[in-house]
């Protein structure tokens, strides 16, 4: 029993010292783990400081025989909390990264994590139960009572403790240099055309997927391809510093290249954490995978990584890893789309005639659902108004449009706004009519709209029923038009 208590105390001391030191060295990653586990934001800063200190305190109490029982009780309490938090995540179907040992070891929690903490709790419970009867470490000086087996066990325990301490020191000091070496090696491999796996075969059909987005909607690959533009999937990780460094440039690319390419982020972590990053950098199309299910579909080995899917849903590039290759990939994808290098791509329609059906477009609604225009514009005559929140002429006609909404005749067409801009900018308009977002202008080009405000009528059969009206006066004249019969072909 004595040697078991010695081994247990030394093991607990090693674990808590290494865990505390690792958390101090990787505070950013530890803070991210707290977010991923769903802890309230106000608790993050205190826990980042307090938890490693508490772990060191537990290790200190376990060293002295007089305080070992208190230390084991404190260890048992901490481990019980860890087990409860991990179990809650597993029951919810969540598997956030465990930063128990900081950068030394970070992986998604699982039942093995729960079992590991349960084993440590069992050892702490044993020390707490029998520590008062067998002081253990103080008995090292009473060698007469030790048999050969006890001495061998003690020697092995001390050796294990020494090795663990030396390994922790080496890892904590060598890891930063090792990380810089790996970054340099990645650049060399990229230049030589080597590196992680190249992914799926170029020209093969891209696997479909459906993920929740930070905009509170479910997004699949057909939705991303609905604007008939190439899609770039950018794989990120909330604990990946090179990924974070690329986010400002990614947001800029999304704004500047929206006419040519749809750039979507496929991230790990919780929705709340990714929603915070999306808001901070003004990102759109941020999709969140539970673990690595989409990355595994596309054979993406690490982050940051990106690949291109053409307008027909086919793999159009090898996987690019790292900042410089990803930047080059994005530039090439945008240039190819702008020059229409994909000769099989279908050009967007530009001039719809009266009697033609509305284009089959799927656009996001302000309430986070998606709207299929070919279905939405059936059943009731509708004025489709193309709009920009920052358009001076649109703002000038806004009061008149609101007044028309309040007094709209029963026989007048209903109103649907197809608008650019953000959700908040469009909500601030104060209109009661539905608004769908056309962030890259593809819907406007599909109908043939060349500016804002511009509107046309769609009959109850979902066919174009008027030519375009340009400007506030002409648009309001259409709005006051009585119901029309379905347009002929």
The pLDDT value given to residue 109: 66
The pLDDT value given to residue 374: 83
Residue pLDDT, tens place only, 27-40: 766 777 777 677 77
Report the pLDDT averaged over residues 373-381. Answer: 87
* Distance (Å, whole) CA 437 – CA 366: 7
Residue scoring higher pLDDT (471 or 96): 471
Q: Are both 210-338 and 362-479 of the same fold?
A: yes
* Helix, strand, or coil (residue 466): coil
C-alpha distances (whole Å) from 385 to each of 55, 116, 199, 223, 475 are 62, 60, 43, 23, 8
Report the pLDDT averaged over residues 425-431. Answer: 91
Choose among 373, 390, 453, 376: nearest CA to 424.
Answer: 390
pLDDT at 354 exceeding the cut of 60: yes
DSSP, res 488: P
Residue 197 C-beta-side C-alpha neighbours within 13 Å: 12
Region of 368 on the Ramachandran plot (φ > 0 left; ψ -120 to 50 alpha; else beta): left
pLDDT at 149 exceeding the cut of 80: no
Token pair of 259, please?
């006419």
Q: pTM surpassing 0.85? A: no
Report the pLDDT averaged over residues 199-222. Answer: 87
The pLDDT value given to residue 187: 47
Residue pLDDT, tens place only, 449-476: 888 899 999 999 999 999 888 888 889 9
| % of the chain beyond a pLDDT of 70 | 75
C-alpha distances (whole Å) from 277 to each of 42, 146, 214 are 17, 60, 10
pLDDT at 8 exceeding the cut of 60: yes
Q: How confident is the model at residue 486 (pLDDT cuts 50, 70, 90)?
A: very low
The pLDDT value given to residue 435: 93
Triad 329, 333, 336: Cα angle to 5°: 135
Triad 17, 19, 24: Cα angle to 5°: 95
Residue pLDDT, tens place only, 390-402: 888 888 899 999 9
The pLDDT value given to residue 131: 59
Residue scoring higher pLDDT (178 or 332): 332
pLDDT at 68 exceeding the cut of 70: yes
pLDDT at 7 exceeding the cut of 80: no
Triad 74, 3, 100: Cα angle to 5°: 40
Q: How confident is the model at residue 119 (pLDDT cuts 50, 70, 90)?
A: confident
DSSP, res 258: T
Query: Do strands 231-235 and 262-267 pair parallel, antiparallel, or not at all (unpaired)?
Result: parallel
* Distance (Å, whole) CA 269 – CA 439: 26
C-alpha distances (whole Å) from 188 to each of 126, 175, 194, 344 are 52, 20, 8, 36
The pLDDT value given to residue 242: 84
The pLDDT value given to residue 264: 95
Token pair of 126, please?
């044993």
Domain ranges of the chain: 2-185, 210-338, 362-479
* Distance (Å, whole) CA 302 – CA 300: 6
Query: Which parts of 192-229 fold into alpha helices (H)?
Result: 221-224
Residue pLDDT, tens place only, 13-23: 888 888 888 77
For domain 210-338, the question of CATH label 3.40.30.10 is answered with: yes
Report the pLDDT averaged over residues 134-144. Answer: 50
| Count helices and strands in the chain by DSSP H and E runs | 16, 16
Q: Which residues neighbour 195 within 8 Å (Cβ) at sequence distance 6 or greater? A: 186, 189, 321
* Distance (Å, whole) CA 81 – CA 68: 20
Q: Which residues neighbour 194 within 8 Å (Cβ) at sequence distance 6 or greater? A: none
Domain 362-479: state its class.
alpha beta
Residue pLDDT, tens place only, 72-84: 888 888 888 888 8
Residue scoring higher pLDDT (311 or 135): 311
Query: Do strands 286-288 and 262-267 pair parallel, antiparallel, or not at all (unpaired)?
Result: parallel
* Distance (Å, whole) CA 344 – CA 307: 20
Mean pLDDT in the chain? Answer: 78
The pLDDT value given to residue 343: 34
Residue 47 C-beta-side C-alpha neighbours within 13 Å: 17
pLDDT at 46 exceeding the cut of 90: no
The pLDDT value given to residue 400: 93
């Amino acid at each position: 029993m004595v040697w078991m208590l010695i081994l247990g105390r030394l093991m607990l001391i090693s674990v808590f010292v290494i865990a505390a030191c690792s958390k101090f060295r990787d505070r950013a990653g530890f803070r991210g783990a707290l977010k991923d586990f769903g802890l309230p934001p106000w608790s993050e800063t205190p826990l980042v400081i307090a938890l490693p200190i508490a772990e060191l305190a537990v290790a200190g109490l376990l060293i002295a025989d007089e305080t070992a029982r208190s230390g084991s009780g404190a260890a048992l309490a901490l481990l019980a909390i860890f087990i409860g938090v991990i179990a809650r995540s597993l029951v919810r179907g969540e598997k956030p990264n465990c930063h128990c040992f900081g950068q030394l070891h970070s992986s998604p929690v699982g039942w093995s994590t729960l079992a590991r903490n349960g084993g440590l709790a069992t050892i702490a419970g044993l020390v707490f139960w029998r520590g008062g009867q067998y002081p253990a470490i103080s008995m090292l000086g009473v060698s007469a009572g030790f048999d050969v087996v006890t001495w061998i066990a003690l020697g092995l325990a001390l050796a294990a403790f020494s090795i663990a301490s030396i390994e922790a020191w080496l890892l904590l000091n060598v890891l930063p240099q090792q990380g810089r070496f790996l970054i340099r090696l990645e650049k060399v491999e990229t230049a030589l055309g080597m590196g992680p796996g190249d992914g799926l075969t170029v020209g093969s059909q891209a696997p479909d997927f459906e993920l929740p987005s930070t905009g509170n909607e479910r997004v699949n690959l057909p939705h991303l391809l609905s604007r008939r533009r190439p899609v770039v999937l950018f794989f990120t990780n909330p604990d990946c510093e090179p990924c974070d460094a690329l986010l400002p440039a990614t947001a800029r690319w999304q704004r500047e290249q929206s006419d040519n390419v749809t750039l979507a982020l496929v991230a790990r972590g919780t929705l709340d954490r990714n929603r915070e990053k999306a808001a901070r950098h003004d990102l759109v199309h941020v999709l969140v995978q539970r673990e690595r299910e989409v990355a595994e579909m596309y054979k993406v080995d690490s982050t940051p990584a990106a690949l291109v899917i053409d307008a027909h849903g086919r793999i159009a590039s090898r996987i690019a890893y790292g900042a410089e290759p990803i930047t080059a990939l994005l530039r090439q994808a945008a240039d190819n789309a702008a020059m229409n290098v994909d000769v099989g791509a279908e050009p967007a329609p530009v001039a719809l005639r009266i009697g033609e059906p509305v284009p089959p477009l799927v656009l996001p609604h302000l309430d986070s659902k998606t709207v299929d225009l070919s279905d939405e514009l059936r059943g009731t005559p509708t004025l489709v108004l193309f709009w920009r929140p920052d358009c001076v002429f649109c703002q000038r006609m806004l009061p008149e449009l609101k007044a028309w909404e309040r007094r709209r005749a029963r026989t007048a067409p209903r109103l649907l706004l197809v608008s650019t801009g953000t959700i908040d900018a469009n909500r601030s308009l104060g209109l009661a009519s539905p608004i769908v977002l056309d962030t890259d202008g593809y819907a406007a080009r599909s109908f043939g709209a060349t500016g804002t405000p511009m509107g046309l009528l769609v009959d109850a059969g979902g066919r174009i029923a008027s030519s375009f009206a340009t400007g506030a006066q002409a648009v309001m004249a259409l709005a006051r038009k009585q119901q029309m019969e379905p347009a002929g072909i």
